[in-house]
């Protein structure tokens, strides 16, 4: 299955359905943001056309594979989750003052913060328009997901409270900012494929857990991976001063001899020589193994959730996804 994650081909019919569904998602994504306003049309298509893994739509379709994947509302549900995801990227880039996104100049760098924020709002409105045709349960799932997205961004912005464990805080932020929308993807896909409600709940749990594994693996790839795998220049988080799980574990360990590393990762690592040194020291630190173990644990938990689902090709594909999230780190 060609999806950028290296999932092996497990069933020809399912692979064909997912491929066709993703093509449909692409077409509907651009159609959903179509507007007569030239400025808004250009800014809203900026990231939609910049590519990306389309991980969430793929999961929406895979979850639909437990029922009728060709049901008429499955693809629109996939478009909703991707519109929501892309909308959050516009807002994230403003919050982070990012200059690049998916290899292109970010919307905020190109047009300013106000245009970027309003473009994100426009994409949320486009998602809501599609949601109106999906029914009240979908609206409820989206609303609760949106609450979590806002909570996650707010808590990331405020940082840990006095006395709060930075690692626990970070994982809570990831759960709300990333895993919540991935869980919504599997819920919406299975819901509109006519899957039994108990299985929809299980697939939501799977989405939450694989979402955590996926994001934590991305954190590790930012340190050890290549730009081809992670989609961004290695060490971007270090340059921006984003304390991801390996950095938090390194800070917490505070071994003798770590003084240089701790000094480098105390804030943004801007100097090229310092950046290269920080990457080298961090790659050799036991914190990397500790963070890798967390990825495997979340992937194992996601895999365990699948035991309650029927043995169909979609379950085999989700099992393979759990494996690929882990193996892409190596």
**pTM for this structure?**
0.92
212 shares a domain with 189: no
Residues 205 and 187 grouped into a single domain = no
User: Do 123 and 269 belong together in one domain?
Assistant: no
Q: Residue 60 falls within a domain, yes or no?
A: yes
Instruction: Using pLDDT thresholds of 50, 70 and 90, give the confidence band for residue 101.
Output: low
Q: Is the pLDDT of residue 99 over 80?
A: no
Residues 59 and 89 in one domain: yes
Answer yes or no: do 147 and 75 share one domain.
yes
| Domain membership flag for residue 149 | yes
Angstrom CA distances, 187 to 117, 253, 278, 299, stand at: 28, 38, 40, 18
Please check whether residue 82 lies inside any domain of the structure. Answer: yes
In a domain? residue 317: no
Q: What is the pLDDT of residue 3?
A: 43
State the chain's mean pLDDT as an integer: 90
Which of 195, 221, 251 is the C-terminal boundary of a domain? 195
Q: Same domain, yes or no, for 126 and 82?
A: yes
Write the pLDDT tens digit of every residue in 25-42: 999 999 999 999 988 888
For residue 46, what are the contacts with CB-CB under 8 A and spacing of at least 6? Answer: 104, 107, 110, 119
* Burial (0-12, 13-18, 19+ Cβ within 10 Å), 133: exposed
Say whether both 204 and 184 belong to one domain. Answer: no
What b/e string do you get for 310-330 counting C-beta neighbours within 10 Å, with b at 16 or more? eeebbbbbbebbbebbbebbe
Look-up of token digits 């899957």: 195
Confidence band for 6, pLDDT divided at 50, 70 and 90: very low
Question: Both 187 and 262 in a single domain?
Answer: no
Same domain, 218 and 168: no
Over range 59-69, report the average pLDDT.
Answer: 97
Cα(21)–Cα(76) distance, rounded to whole angstroms? 10
* Count of Cβ atoms closer than 10 Å to residue 204 Cβ: 23
Q: Is residue 6 part of a domain?
A: no
User: Would residue 90 count as lying in a domain?
Assistant: yes
State which residues form the domain around 230: 199-312
Number of compact structural domains in the chain: 2
Q: Please indicate, yes or no, if residue 37 is contained in any of the structural domains.
A: yes
Q: Are residues 46 and 186 in the same domain?
A: yes
In a domain, 5, yes or no: no
**Closest alpha carbon to 86 in 35, 137, 121, 128:** 121
**CATH code, domain carrying 299:** 1.10.600.10
Contact between 282 and 261 under an 8 Å Cβ cutoff? The reply is yes
What is the pLDDT, as a whole number, of residue 1? 46
How many Å apart are CA 163 and CA 65, to the nearest integer? 45
pLDDT tens digits, 293-304: 999 999 999 999
117 and 233 fall within a common domain: no
Place of tokens 């060490």: 235
Asked which of 165, 195, 225 is the last residue of a domain, the reply is 195
Please say whether the beta carbons of 46 and 104 come within 8 A: yes
Among 131, 166, 195, which residue terminates a domain?
195
* 213 and 285 assigned to the same domain: yes
Q: What is the pLDDT of residues 189-222, one digit of tens each?
A: 999 999 999 999 999 999 999 999 999 999 999 9
pLDDT per position as a tens digit, 219-259: 999 999 765 555 567 788 899 899 999 999 999 987 889 99
């Amino acid at each position: 299955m060609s999806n950028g994650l290296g999932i092996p081909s497990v069933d020809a019919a399912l692979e064909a359905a997912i491929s066709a569904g993703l093509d449909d998602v692409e077409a509907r994504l651009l159609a959903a943001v179509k507007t007569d306003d030239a400025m808004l049309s250009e800014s809203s298509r900026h990231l939609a056309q910049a590519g990306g893994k389309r991980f969430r739509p793929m999961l929406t379709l895979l979850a639909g594979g437990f029922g009728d994947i060709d049901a008429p509302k499955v693809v629109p549900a996939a478009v909703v989750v991707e519109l929501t995801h892309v909308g959050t990227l516009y807002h994230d880039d403003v919050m982070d003052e990012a200059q690049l996104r998916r290899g292109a100049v970010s919307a905020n760098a190109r047009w300013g913060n106000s245009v970027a924020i309003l473009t994100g709002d426009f994409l949320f409105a486009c998602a809501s328009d599609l949601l109106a045709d999906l029914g009240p349960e979908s609206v409820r799932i989206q609303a609760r997901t949106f609450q979590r997205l806002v909570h996650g961004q707010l808590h990331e912005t405020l940082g840990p409270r006095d006395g709060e464990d930075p690692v626990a805080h970070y994982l809570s932020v990831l759960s709300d900012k990333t895993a919540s929308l991935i869980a919504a993807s599997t819920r919406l896909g299975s819901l509109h494929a006519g899957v039994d409600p108990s299985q929809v709940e299980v697939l939501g749990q799977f989405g939450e857990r694989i979402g955590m594994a996926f994001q934590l693996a991305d954190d590790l790839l930012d340190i050890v991976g290549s730009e081809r795998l992670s989609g961004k220049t290695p060490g971007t988080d270090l340059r921006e001063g984003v304390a991801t799980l390996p950095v938090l574990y390194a800070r917490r360990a505070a071994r003798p001899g770590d003084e240089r590393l701790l000094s480098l990762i105390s804030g943004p690592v801007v100097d090229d020589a310092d950046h290269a040194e920080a990457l080298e020291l961090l790659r050799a630190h036991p914190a990397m193994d500790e963070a890798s173990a967390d990825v495997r644990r979340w992937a194992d938990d996601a895999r365990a959730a699948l035991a309650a689902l029927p043995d169909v090709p979609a379950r085999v594909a989700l099992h393979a996804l759990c494996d690929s999230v882990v193996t892409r780190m190596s």
